[in-house]
């Protein structure tokens, strides 16, 4: 959902430059320069934006549900690992960037959804995503959120990243996580408790053109992803008045299940062995969370998560 809005905002900025309002564009560029570090310093959320009525209809369209399995003490800071990425990341946006789902279930906690830094370079669009509670996925940004001395902050990171969106086929349970250990190191350095989150239904919203590993399409997509920083899955779904073809996501229920926290003791300089040990524990907890709830959301008993 990010690219179309970003394109509109950038297009509007170009109109300002080419039109008779170039001076507004210059003023905004000055503001952009002065405000450049805000996405790495907690952002600038707006309760008004997060409470727009349109988000209520957005959540009801699929519908999107947030399921709580354990209490999260607001005296601690947390790092929530969100899985899978999917194409739209609808569960992450609907549950952590709009109110009141998370606010009602986890009072005292403030969620920050970390996204790729490239999005904060888009004129005007950056103001919109920050107002919804999104911040940069840079190490500096994650550290800022998790450094809150009084606790009550929750960093939400889509662990698989853009690369995982290329696996977002209906029925797919493949997660890009085996080599992703940076979030583990950050949790250790700040003593943030780890919480696995699995969003059932996230991969069912679109159909993607077949792109098995080793195919020419997958090779092109992976090369473009390395160059641009974000992936370009070729997907389709339904239209406005018909269900055969279009870019509107299918109405498939999304159940985002928040697991139990894994206590983490602060270790400013963790060793590789300590990181690997906590990473293995996280994988086990994530797998247990999936196995415990999969029967509730239509996943066959013989299917399990695949870690890559």
pLDDT at residue 86, as a whole number: 94
40-307 folds as Glycerol-3-phosphate (1)-acyltransferase (3.40.1130)
Give me the residue spans of the domains in the chain: 40-307
Other CB atoms within 10 A of residue 133 CB = 25
Task: State the pLDDT confidence band at 146, using cuts at 50, 70 and 90.
Answer: very high
**Is 255:200 a contact under the CB 8 Å cutoff?**
yes
Task: State the pLDDT confidence band at 55, using cuts at 50, 70 and 90.
Answer: very high
| CA dihedral sign of residues 304, 259, 51, 114 | negative
> Is residue 12 over pLDDT 70?
no
Average pLDDT over residues 251-267: 97
Would you put residue 181 in left (φ > 0), alpha (ψ -120 to 50) or beta?
alpha
Task: State the pLDDT confidence band at 186, using cuts at 50, 70 and 90.
Answer: very high
> Is residue 286 over pLDDT 70?
yes
C-alpha 42/C-alpha 90 separation (Å) is 22
C-alpha 263/C-alpha 154 separation (Å) is 14
């Amino acid at each position: 959902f990010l690219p179309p809005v970003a394109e509109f905002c950038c297009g509007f900025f170009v109109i300002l430059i080419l039109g008779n309002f170039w001076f507004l564009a210059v003023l905004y560029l000055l503001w952009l320069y002065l405000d450049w570090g805000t996405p790495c310093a907690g952002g600038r959320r707006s309760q008004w934006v997060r409470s727009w009525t349109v988000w209520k209809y957005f959540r009801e369209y699929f519908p999107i549900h947030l399921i709580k399995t354990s209490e999260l003490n607001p005296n601690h800071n947390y790092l929530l690992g969100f899985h899978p990425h999917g194409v739209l990341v609808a569960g992450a946006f609907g549950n952590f960037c709009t109110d009141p789902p998370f606010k009602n279930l986890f009072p005292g906690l403030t969620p920050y959804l970390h996204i790729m830094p490239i999005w904060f370079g888009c004129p005007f669009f950056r103001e919109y995503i920050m107002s919804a509670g999104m911040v940069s996925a840079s190490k500096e940004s994650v550290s800022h959120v998790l450094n809150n001395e009084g606790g009550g902050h929750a960093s939400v990171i889509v662990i698989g990243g853009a690369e995982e969106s290329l696996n977002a086929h209906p029925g797919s349970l493949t997660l890009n996580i085996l080599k992703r250990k940076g979030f583990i190191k950050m949790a250790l350095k700040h003593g943030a408790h780890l919480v696995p989150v699995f969003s059932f239904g996230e991969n069912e919203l679109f159909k993607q053109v077949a792109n098995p590993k080793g195919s020419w399409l997958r090779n092109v997509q992976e090369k473009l992803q390395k160059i641009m920083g974000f992936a370009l899955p070729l997907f389709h779904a339904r239209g406005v008045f018909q269900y055969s073809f279009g870019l509107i996501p299918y109405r498939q229920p999304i159940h985002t299940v928040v697991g139990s926290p894994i206590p983490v003791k602060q270790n400013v300089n963790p060793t590789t062995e300590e990181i690997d040990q906590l990473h293995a524990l996280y994988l086990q907890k994530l797998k247990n969370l999936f196995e415990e709830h999969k029967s509730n959301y239509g996943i066959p008993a013989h299917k399990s998560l695949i870690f890559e």
